[in-house]
Structure formats: structure tokens, C-alpha cells
Amino acid sequence: MNTILGLCLCVVLHTPCCFSPAGQHPYASKDPIVQPKPFPIPEKSAWHITFTPDGNTFYFVTGGSDTEIVKFSHFKDGKWTTPELAPFSGKYRIETPSISPDGSKFFFTFATSGKENIYVMDRTASGWSEPRDLGDRVNTGSFDGGPSSAANGNLYFFSNRDGNFRIYRAKWLGTEYAAAEKLTSVFDTYETGELCVAPDEGFLLFNVHQADNTYHLCVSLRKDDDTWTAPHDLGPQVNFGSYQGRPCLSPDGKYLFFTAANTKDWITSQYQVDLASVGL
């Protein structure tokens, strides 16, 4: 990463200007991570991690199912700092946080009164702006959540607006979103959920509800603007428990982070694995 750009991001986001040795991202591993390993977050239960573009700050969700809060940690003096409550947390019940590839937007799912809508905060000189609803081109008042932005601004998310959970995309037109459209019917036989799109839209990662009531992470490759491959299960290397979901790509594109849990107690943990080891 360009050092001057990194310093600017630190100032704007009020993060410590601390870079890991030799320009490496602090989550980087000297050895390949072929089998998923826990990512060290000192919380009893943590889920859905998202990084700032420089990789030196991450946000995650913790708390109970009805009291989700967002915390963050910086990389400082060679280690991750003790997580702190995000300034905007507590005002909103925040789920599935996701920072855009350029760091300019912070998307999340706002859950209230039995419905879920997608909100966004903009990066400002003093931190993050007040959240705003993305409006009826994206939200329907049913269940719309799990936002993930591509580098060109196109927003991917899942929704049950047609009675089933499917994947939708709202194209960014430069100043506003086009009306969201459901992705190709190749997904119609799958009950899809939390997702993450590659910055170049080359592939989608998402979890699928299985017949045995487990949740597996799958991938679909984009052939062209309207054609995607059928979902491919990432296999037992990643899908080792009863629940795998909330995927996140590292800013350098080398790692997949995801949440895993046992559905009996829902104690959730974050895991990290090399993208190359899962064929991406």
C-alpha cells in the first residue's frame, strides 16, 4: 500500500498510523493457511468481521441476538488492541457490517420491528456520518440485508421480497442506485443468505441453507454480467461445523474470513483461510 495514502486513511478514519513490518497486513501469515484457523478476537462470541482498506482496523459484531453491538480493534505496537465499542453502536441494532473496497462507505443491516433494511454511513473528516436508509430502490420493508459492495459501487445483498431468500444486485449509477434486480435464476433452487462479492465482481461467496439444517459456504463465478455458475460448496475444509456464514475478503484479496458456529449454542468465532487453498 502507498504509505502516503495509508497515512491519509489513518487521519480520516481516526486510526493509529501503525503499519506491520515490511508493509505486510497485520493479519498476514508467513505460512499458508490451508486449514481454517481462528482469528483472535477476545470476545465470547463474535461474528461478521470487516476491515478498513489498509487492513489495520477491523470491525465486528458481538452481543446477544437482540442486542448486537459493533466493536473495533486497531493494530498497534505489533498486536491488535482490546476491542472498543464503535461510536455509532448502540443507536442501531447493527448486523452484517461491510466496508466498501475504497473505505468510503460503511454498509450494515438495520434490524427493527420485525423487518431489516440496509443502511450506509459515509466516511467523513470526523469519522463516519449518521446512517441513512438506502431507500426503496434497495429496500422493500421486508427482509433486506447482508450488503456487500464491489469496487465499482454495485451493491449485492440478499432479500426475501419474493417469499424466498435470494441474491439481488443494485447497480451504482454514479449518484444513485438503479432499482435492485434478482440475480440469475441459477440461484432459485437455493435458500441463500449472507454474502460477499469480490471487488471486481469475479465471484460471490455466500452461505446456503442445507437440507439437514446446516449452513455451508458456497461460491459462484461470474461468466458475464447476467450469467453466474451454479453454487459450488467449498467443502469440508471450510464447512466443518453446523453453521458457516458471513464471509469477508481481506483487503489484499488473499484471505477469506468467515463466521462458524454450532447451532446448538450459537457461540460464534471468526476463522481465516487462504483463498488460494479453496481454489479462488
Domain boundaries, the chain: 37-278
Cβ atoms within 10 Å of 188's Cβ, excluding its own: 12
Tell me the Ramachandran region of residue 149: left when phi exceeds 0, alpha when psi lies from -120 to 50, beta otherwise: beta
Q: What homologous superfamily does CATH list for 37-278?
A: TolB, C-terminal domain (2.120.10.30)
* CA–CA dist 140, 114 (Å, integer): 13
pTM of the model: 0.88
CB 68 within 8 A of CB 77: no
C-alpha of 130 from chain center: 20
Residue type at position 231: P
Cα 62 to chain centroid distance, Å, stands at 14
Do 26 and 55 contact (CB within 8 A), yes or no? yes
Tens digit of pLDDT per residue, the chain (280 long)? Answer: 333 333 333 433 434 333 344 457 889 998 999 999 999 898 888 999 999 999 999 999 998 666 789 999 999 988 999 999 999 887 777 889 999 999 999 999 987 766 789 999 999 999 999 999 999 999 998 899 999 999 999 999 999 988 888 999 999 999 999 999 999 888 888 888 899 999 999 999 999 999 888 999 999 999 988 899 999 999 999 999 999 999 999 999 999 999 998 767 778 899 999 999 999 9
